[in-house]
Amino acid sequence: MLIRIRYKDGRIDLMPSERLDEMIVMSEIEEFERNSGWVVLGKDPLRSTLRGRYAGPERRRSRR
């Protein structure tokens, strides 16, 4: 799947989702787009195995 990203110089591009973690860790991008809108790195919560555990609010529903 392709994800829309915004580089630090303002350019917008599409990249394979498999490369997103790598680009974030290397500080190559400033934002990426989710279905809910743009995610600002350093401001919005992120999930990734490369960056450690997710620190945002729990949004999954409990299955009982």
Query: pLDDT by residue (tens digit) across 4-33?
Result: 999 999 999 999 998 998 888 888 899 999
Asked whether residue 57 carries a pLDDT value surpassing 80, the answer given is no
Give me the pLDDT at residue 4, please. 97
Q: Side by side, which strands form the sheet with 37-40?
A: 12-16, 2-7, 29-34, 37-40
In DSSP terms, 32 is beta-bridged to 5, 39
Return the domain boundaries, the chain.
2-40
